[in-house]
Structure 1
Amino acid sequence: MAMNDAIRSSSWRKPTVALRLVWVFAALSLLTAASDLRGQGNIALHGVVEDETGIGIAGARLTLLATTTTLTRKANADKTGQFGFDDLPAGTYVLHAEAVEFQSVDVPVSVGSSPLEPLRITLRVGLAEEVTVTGTRGEEPVLQDKNGDQVKIDNDLLRELPTDGTDVLALASSFLSPASIGGEHASIVVDGIEGGAGPIPTTGIRRMLINRNPYSAEYRRPGTARIEIITEHGSSSHVRGSAALFVRNSALDARNAFAPSKSPLDRRWFEGMVSGPLPGNRASFFLSGDGLTSKGAAIVNARTLGGPVAENVPNREANQRLLGRLDWHPSEVQTVLLRYGFSRESGTNRGVGGLRLREQGFATSAADHQFQLTDQNAWSSLLNHLRLWVERSFEHRGTAASGPAVLVHGAFTGGPSQTDQTDQSLLLQAQDVASVFGGPHTIRFGANLRRRWIEMTDASDFAGTFEFASLDRLAAGTPSVFRVNQGQPALRFPETELFGFVQDEVLLRPTLSLMLGGRYDRQSWLHDSGAFAPRAALAFSPGKAKTVLRAGAGLFHGRLPEGAVRRELLLDGARVREVVVTEPSYPDPFFVGNVQMVLPSIVRIAPDIAAPSSIQASIGVEREVWQRTQVVVEYQAIRGSHLFRSRNINLPAVETGLRPDARFLNIDRVESSATLRGQSLGVTWRGRVTRRFKGTAQYALSRTRDDSSGPFALPAYDRDLSAEVGRADSDRRHRFTLAGTLTFTSTIRVGAIAKLASGAPFDITTGFDNNGDTVANDRPPGVTRNTGQGPGLAQLDLRVTKLLSVWRPFDYPDRSHEVMTINLDLFNVLNRTNATTFVGVLSSPLFGRSVSAGPARTVQLSVRYRF
């Protein structure tokens, strides 16, 4: 390793003719020696040291001891966990592998006359005992968390891929299943506890795991709707760090297809990291931070009475994030982790773009503090994690509007923004998870209690909004409806969640494992007694672990959105009343109006509301096609029930015209009556093609149908929901994602992310309130939900990396001398227009057209220095 580093450090100097001759002679000598060794029959042993998630353990120490002689060999694994021993005489050996914070392992090795297959060694975290691994080479136990279609993204890969460092979750989300996510956001699990990843800089992420152990009872969501983040820890042996600067400017970019001219952009992003040991050799620290300042523009593409409007509206954005972590080992069996995260962001002219005009812009500011304490104890057969989480957050959006807004369906939204919100919350979580190891059984169980206090003020729409069915109606001054909120918008309320789980993974044979588990969830604002979710998974290898058959099924429950509780408590007709005036006068809505304007509209949660649930089942086969390269084919089916939707339950009776509750105009009730049906066939490839390219590719052929677009989406006609059954909003028949790196030379690499997808659907409406329910979402006769079809998506991003050898203050023989990298990022290299928003309003002059698109080709330059 030291020799390789020395070679790299001198590679930038111009070689002399004599030096070239020396290298040629040395190469010929090595080839001759290698030929002689092969003739003698000595064998090489190579392999990789990994943790339980399959990520290589850099710097792992390996000692090879002969059992019948005094021969001893030592080696250190490289940054990917790879190691090797050459020129081994025949005999029996014991290979000892160890790493800091991992359980050491002894592996018997038998060397004969035949070449040895690569050895894969897995180290478990935290157990301070030695384990002897038995079995034949290549026959690894078939475990549930070793599924071949999981995606692993470590910090090294993040540095090599073309990513926006301020939002690396976008890359991980590309490998999730939209059907599994459903109406919620993806579940983010940080260091074992479900929370948010906002305060974590990119350099603070050690690895991200997607779809690991998809049917684990420990987690609320399935693997295809879950991202696990493991934060970086400090080095226990030496000080290390890095600093990087990323720059973008519109001078190098292409023009967006909907912009009248090239949009201005000036973006600066800085990140830095430092870590190392603390005095006493029992603790280490890690500190990471980044900051973003950006001056850009939002692109407006609308139609007003004055004609088309295409405009670049300047905006600004500033973000800062900080992560600090302390790892302390008070004893051989105990590890204490302290983590603090902070984020702050602000922006101007938010809410502008597409059909929303310049005057709709508003400012935002937010701050978030996170603190986590983890106490890990490892005894002979028990591993326990006690976690405490505290989070304090603040967010402000907009300000009091000076007048009403104007909305013309499918044409534009103008006037002052009606957004005026302030939120503060305090979140406390306590979790304890234990693992018991006994023979073939690994029993895992735990519980979590989550309590959140929310204080908010929502004065949105307190100046009101006029809605027009078309531009002609606007010209005539005849709005269809005017909405305004009145009252006291301040509110405080708590919410509580708890869960408990238990699961047992039993290794019936090294080639057969079975996992059975169950989970119980309860949420305070749901009126049921809680939800039980059984889970099961089976893995079987009929041969030498080259082929694995996997099957699993589980019940998964979702959460009632916090927004539903807010709306019910706020829009109750007493604290805040929503006034709806049909066919009002304009611009004074109360000069002439329907008598219904005196009746408030409210929001309620159905008394029988239940937790949304989905049954997910899959069966698949994974095959190791060659060394460290797998192909997985899997069929998956999803059945969702008790999904959320809103419905107006106070419509006038057809016969009498009277409303069920005469005190109110509309009663929008959030209920759990929607359903979902989906199925997919997926193919995942993960590994290498030659020694130069490694990556992950995923293709899915899927079909998902549901009858609701979310908890607050109203149907076109509340009395007949049959027309709501249609394609899910996220339904794309074909999806393909590729992320990989190509090594051209030892100092030049290219990272690539490619995304291909067929078009998503969009809804088609008339723009009018044909059925008189005060909502203009009616569809033409015979048209069901989401019958519009958008175009496909295609995007290719590239990062070209050049490694340089420069001076650094600290020099260690086990670290690369190429400590500076220069990156050139090209986002949307092909400069393809990927339309994102389509107008489905028949009364609009823009019907069937897109009004916005993803960014055009963008160039980013960056430099990083590591020490």
Structure 2
Amino acid sequence: MGCATRPRRGIDVMPQLQVLKNLPRISRSFPVRWPVSCNSCNSWPGFSVHANHNCRGGAGAAVLAAQFLFVMLLLPASSAAQAGVTVSGIVEDQSRAAIPGAQVSLVQGENARTTSTDEHGRFMFTGVGPGKYKLGAAAHSFQPQELEIGIGAQSLESLKLRLKISAQATQVTVSADSLDDSADAESNADSVKFDDDLFRQLPVPARDVLPLITKFVSPAALGTEGLSIVTDGIEGNQLDVPASAIRKVNINRNPYSAEFRRPGKGRVEVTTQRGRRKFHGSLAVFARNSVFDARNAATLGGPLGRKRSLFFLTGEHLRNNESEIVNAITPAGPFRAIVPSPQRRDRFLARIDLRQMGIHYVSASYGITDDDRRNRNVGDFNLPEQGIRERSRQHRLLLTERAILSANLINDLRFAFKSEDAISGNPAPGPTIVVADAFTGGPSPTFSHDGRKSFDALDSVSYVRGRQTFRFGVQSRVRLNHAIDASNFNGTFQFASLQNFAAATPFVYQANQGRPDARFSVYDASGFVQDDIRVSPQLSLACGLRYDWQSSIDKRKNLAPRFGFAFAPGKHKTVLRGGIGIFYEDLPTAATLRSLLIDGVRTREVVISNPSFPDPFQGGQVILTPPSVIRVAPDIRSPYIVQTSLGVERELSSRTWLSLEYSFLRGLHLFRSRNVNAPEPETGLRPAAGFLNINQVESGASLRSHALGVTFRGRAGKHLRGIAQYTLSRSFNDTSGAFSLPADNFNLRAEWGRADFNQTHRFNFAGTLELPRGLRLASVLSLASGAPFNITTGFDDNHDTVANDRPPGVTRNTELRPGTVDLDVRLTKTFKLAPPFLGGQPPAKRESHNLEFSVDAFNAINHTNFAHIVGTQSSPFFGRATSAFAARTIQFSLNYIF
């Protein structure tokens, strides 16, 4: 066994299994029992192609028993008695950025212990006895600081030492209460925080962390373009860095900050890894059901030449050979097939950090992503011939510079460049056939090539004076777009039912003609001011104002005030927290693109009602029908939501918080589409005779959402840590997105109903439990009520060429799908190894390396979670589930951390 000191935290990395041949011998052997096939159905236990695999025979029963044991182990366990407690925390500067390499001391009388903060600014002392101590921190170019603390029977964690820039070499001594930041705007207990250790320990399929992150965001707070992901200060809607490059993730931190466009519950802040002063890294290999499914990753970091320069490298390779299940009905009868849908993805990220003269910090990172997927769009009702290939490549460059201008003034400058290129599909050799909720056959109509380049520049200033922190900044973005969209150039026939298909009577034929090429630019600009005031040790206020501008929208009155407060009376164990703010969003780039392409000139959409089949032009003669166009409303304006909340938080112990919060969201001027040239119900005539359909993107929809949330975050005993979140909510709106058309263009009141994302109950838990003998158990549990779905007739009853009509008296989203239950578990065994290649280094200074072997079970209880319920009355599947989410999947992983 290696030494028993605390192992250094590392990051996942993964070449081939052969590298393990060169590792030091493990002093303790461990048996591995491979699974055997199930005698009842001749399949691997827990591996099922069909979602309804419920075999309980042979090995399947053993797997269920093991899963039951896993769940039982997650229950809180009593901690074994230990000598002393743990004192840990973080050292930050005035802008709340971590200070790596700071010297931290813990002094009691003549006895002193010292340590250094890691790359995250964290420190830890273990085995600390009871009594009074002085906790001090010092770093180059900063004023040293001391904190008086008292140690009892409970560990002290999350202590924060905030150092000021060293304008004068003076010693600052404070009490523990004065550093208690429970009343700060950024210390809300309902925030969700993941660090790289927790990501590494939780069960995550092939290290794809985004599904785990999205479990803890509020769907009502998401914008038109989805989740807002802020990576190293640059806002976007993609997580475009490898999972092994993520240092920490914050969700709902400071929900009313004017620095960001979206509210906290619809925003994820991602910080990437950086190098350390010692070489470190990791190797990891993941394997799932098939030997052809694998994910390899590697990381390496350390000093670069001079001590003031650090580097970090990471790369990932994904080989995923999953399959899609087709479950359709054709004129020949039921059609079921399993279609391979392989994916290959490579990601790489390199980062360099430079520190100059102690007052300038410069970093540069470059990332590249290659993604190749085949047989996309296959599955459910889509037959195998609908499969297409999707390829994309992305380059990302980020430059940042932090200047500590004085003891009170810090300037942060960021510049980002991103280039994206994506190709989907190929020219279709024939028309596509769509029979409503029965089958979709023929070649896929998709054929597009998108090229996008974006440039971001941000500059923000932080000024600290006494109890007040003042921040302001500006941001500009330029997006250059070049799109070629030749989709549906061979047309699509739509049939209301199988009977109509057998009778060769489609209700509509649609095809695009012309030159499908468009180039355009979008310019964004924003500015903010934020003033955080500590009125007293018990009360803090956060006041902010933000302005957003976009070139695609003429309206300019987009001022968004924000306000938050926190009141922590007495010993700061209970906090009353609330706030209100306005949050604007931009017009989606896709809306501008569609209005430029389908404009009746560059590209015209031919729509023929009740066409002949298979030749819609009656003998080969092209009939010039009135064109259909897509346009953006002339009076379009930026949508916004007003969010307000009030909650109470209670510190149950030094490591555990419980919060209860009520929040209300009101969305105004939300995007939706409407056919402003639909036939008049009385006459059947269209207002503009020169056009067929005019689908106009408007800002006339609204949203109301109420939510009551309970969040538990922290530790239970020494070994169990995690976060649990329950939300009771009710969300209603009258839009399903910017391009969603109403069932009746003359009766928009019928669109008011349950939002597509409305789920009355949602519960999510993520946590880990340390067990004896180097074992660790982790789980992610998600429970949710069913989401709503529509009931439609399947016919174009109002002759607007769209078959989304509902039965009389039925409004939008009246029915509910069944709820979902999803439990993922991971069991990990950690082996401590003596590090190789140490030369003559004395054993006392050797730090142990870790080898982790993990077994994951996703959907461990093999619960069938339906993905789609057919609501089309003309479909033979009406009222039935035709697809489900993945059945139980097993994943093995090996991770070497040094």
CA distances 1:62-104 after superposition (whole Å, capped 9, x unpaired): 22456xx7654424579973325746877xx64322468x956
Could you say which residue in structure 1 is the equivalent of 2:146? Answer: 107
Deviation at 1:734, TM superposition (A): 0.2
Residue 183 (structure 1) aligned with residue 224 (structure 2): yes
User: Equivalents in 2 of 1:408, 1:480: separation in Å?
Assistant: 10
User: Equivalents in 2 of 1:192, 1:483: separation in Å?
Assistant: 44
For residues 528-567 of structure 1, the aligned pairs below 5 Å read 528-567=555-594
User: Equivalents in 2 of 1:716, 1:837: separation in Å?
Assistant: 20
Among 224, 229, 232, which residue is 2:270 paired with? Answer: 229
Deviation at 1:837, TM superposition (A): 1.4
User: Equivalents in 2 of 1:299, 1:131: separation in Å?
Assistant: 68
Could you say which residue in structure 2 is the equivalent of 1:81? Answer: 123
Among 451, 459, 474, which residue is 1:424 paired with? Answer: 451
For residues 144-293 of structure 1, the aligned pairs below 5 Å read 144-195=185-236, 197-235=238-276, 237-250=277-290, 266-293=292-319
Contact preservation (8 Å) 2:472, 2:528: yes
For residues 382-461 of structure 1, the aligned pairs below 5 Å read 382-461=409-488
Could you say which residue in structure 1 is the equivalent of 2:402? Answer: 376
Among 365, 373, 378, which residue is 1:347 paired with? Answer: 373
Deviation at 1:10, TM superposition (A): 12
User: Equivalents in 2 of 1:7, 1:559: separation in Å?
Assistant: 46
Among 575, 581, 589, which residue is 2:608 paired with? Answer: 581
Return the letter of the residue paired with 2:630: V
Could you say which residue in structure 1 is the equivalent of 2:872? Answer: 841
Q: Secondary structure in 2 aligned to 1:294?
A: strand
Deviation at 1:120, TM superposition (A): 4.7
Residue 63 (structure 1) aligned with residue 105 (structure 2): yes
Residue 311 (structure 1) aligned with residue 337 (structure 2): yes
CA distances 1:595-628 after superposition (whole Å, capped 9, x unpaired): 9961110011001111111000000001011221
User: Equivalents in 1 of 2:717, 2:610: separation in Å?
Assistant: 69
User: Equivalents in 2 of 1:586, 1:197: separation in Å?
Assistant: 42
Deviation at 1:198, TM superposition (A): 4.3
Deviation at 1:137, TM superposition (A): 4.7
Deviation at 1:431, TM superposition (A): 0.4
Contact preservation (8 Å) 1:48, 1:83: no
User: Equivalents in 2 of 1:389, 1:602: separation in Å?
Assistant: 36
User: Equivalents in 1 of 2:469, 2:285: separation in Å?
Assistant: 45
User: Equivalents in 1 of 2:283, 2:540: separation in Å?
Assistant: 45
Unaligned runs of 5+ in 1: 15-30, 35-42, 251-264
Contact preservation (8 Å) 1:315, 1:347: yes
Q: Higher mean Cα deviation, 566-575 or 165-174?
A: 165-174
Contact preservation (8 Å) 2:91, 2:117: no
Contact preservation (8 Å) 1:127, 1:333: no
For residues 458-537 of structure 1, the aligned pairs below 5 Å read 458-537=485-564
Deviation at 1:446, TM superposition (A): 0.3
Residue 46 (structure 1) aligned with residue 87 (structure 2): yes
Relative to structure 1, the CA distance from residue 437 to residue 220 in structure 2 (aligned partners, 3 Å threshold; closer, same or farther) is same
Return the letter of the residue paired with 2:886: P
Relative to structure 1, the CA distance from residue 804 to residue 212 in structure 2 (aligned partners, 3 Å threshold; closer, same or farther) is same
Could you say which residue in structure 2 is the equivalent of 1:297? Answer: 323
User: Equivalents in 1 of 2:344, 2:894: separation in Å?
Assistant: 21
Could you say which residue in structure 2 is the equivalent of 1:862? Answer: 893
CA distances 1:752-794 after superposition (whole Å, capped 9, x unpaired): 0000000000111000000111110000000000012100010
Contact preservation (8 Å) 2:7, 2:849: no
Could you say which residue in structure 2 is the equivalent of 1:122? Answer: 160
Residue 781 (structure 1) aligned with residue 821 (structure 2): no
Q: Secondary structure in 2 aligned to 1:171?
A: helix
User: Equivalents in 2 of 1:197, 1:795: separation in Å?
Assistant: 25
User: Equivalents in 1 of 2:490, 2:739: separation in Å?
Assistant: 22
Return the letter of the residue paired with 1:107: E
Among 348, 356, 359, which residue is 1:322 paired with? Answer: 348
Deviation at 1:383, TM superposition (A): 1.3
Q: TM (normalized to structure 1)?
A: 0.90
Could you say which residue in structure 2 is the equivalent of 1:22? Answer: none
Q: Secondary structure in 2 aligned to 1:802?
A: strand
User: Equivalents in 1 of 2:223, 2:523: separation in Å?
Assistant: 22
Q: Higher mean Cα deviation, 47-56 or 326-335?
A: 47-56
Relative to structure 1, the CA distance from residue 487 to residue 804 in structure 2 (aligned partners, 3 Å threshold; closer, same or farther) is same
User: Equivalents in 2 of 1:683, 1:767: separation in Å?
Assistant: 41
Could you say which residue in structure 2 is the equivalent of 1:694? Answer: 721
Could you say which residue in structure 1 is the equivalent of 2:73? Answer: none
Relative to structure 1, the CA distance from residue 373 to residue 33 in structure 2 (aligned partners, 3 Å threshold; closer, same or farther) is closer
User: Equivalents in 2 of 1:698, 1:629: separation in Å?
Assistant: 14
Deviation at 1:48, TM superposition (A): 3.0
User: Equivalents in 1 of 2:335, 2:81: separation in Å?
Assistant: 75
Return the letter of the residue paired with 1:395: A
CA distances 1:18-40 after superposition (whole Å, capped 9, x unpaired): xxxxxxxxxxxxx9998xxxxxx
User: Equivalents in 1 of 2:808, 2:791: separation in Å?
Assistant: 11
Contact preservation (8 Å) 2:90, 2:98: yes
Identity %: 43
Q: Secondary structure in 1 aligned to 2:174?
A: coil
Could you say which residue in structure 2 is the equivalent of 1:591? Answer: 618
Could you say which residue in structure 2 is the equivalent of 1:675? Answer: 702
Relative to structure 1, the CA distance from residue 33 to residue 331 in structure 2 (aligned partners, 3 Å threshold; closer, same or farther) is closer
User: Equivalents in 2 of 1:81, 1:699: separation in Å?
Assistant: 32
Could you say which residue in structure 1 is the equivalent of 2:57? Answer: none
User: Equivalents in 2 of 1:290, 1:864: separation in Å?
Assistant: 13
Could you say which residue in structure 2 is the equivalent of 1:361? Answer: 387
Relative to structure 1, the CA distance from residue 185 to residue 574 in structure 2 (aligned partners, 3 Å threshold; closer, same or farther) is same
Residue 725 (structure 1) aligned with residue 752 (structure 2): yes
Return the letter of the residue paired with 1:865: Y
Among 658, 671, 679, which residue is 1:652 paired with? Answer: 679
Q: Secondary structure in 1 aligned to 2:475?
A: strand
User: Equivalents in 2 of 1:698, 1:599: separation in Å?
Assistant: 54
User: Equivalents in 2 of 1:45, 1:485: separation in Å?
Assistant: 67
User: Equivalents in 1 of 2:613, 2:698: separation in Å?
Assistant: 35
Q: Secondary structure in 2 aligned to 1:249?
A: coil
CA distances 1:821-860 after superposition (whole Å, capped 9, x unpaired): 1110110000011111121100001011121111100000
Contact preservation (8 Å) 1:485, 1:577: yes
Q: Secondary structure in 2 aligned to 1:598?
A: coil
Return the letter of the residue paired with 1:212: R
Contact preservation (8 Å) 1:190, 1:197: no
Contact preservation (8 Å) 2:703, 2:733: yes
Unaligned runs of 5+ in 2: 9-23, 30-79
CA distances 1:550-578 after superposition (whole Å, capped 9, x unpaired): 00110001111111101100000000000
User: Equivalents in 2 of 1:632, 1:744: separation in Å?
Assistant: 28
Could you say which residue in structure 1 is the equivalent of 2:826? Answer: 799
Among 739, 742, 749, which residue is 2:766 paired with? Answer: 739
User: Equivalents in 2 of 1:10, 1:296: separation in Å?
Assistant: 35
Greater relative CO, 1 or 2 (CA 8 Å, sep 6+)? 2
Return the letter of the residue paired with 1:211: N
Relative to structure 1, the CA distance from residue 427 to residue 635 in structure 2 (aligned partners, 3 Å threshold; closer, same or farther) is same
Could you say which residue in structure 2 is the equivalent of 1:258? Answer: none
Return the letter of the residue paired with 2:284: A
Could you say which residue in structure 1 is the equivalent of 2:852? Answer: 821
Deviation at 1:3, TM superposition (A): 6.5
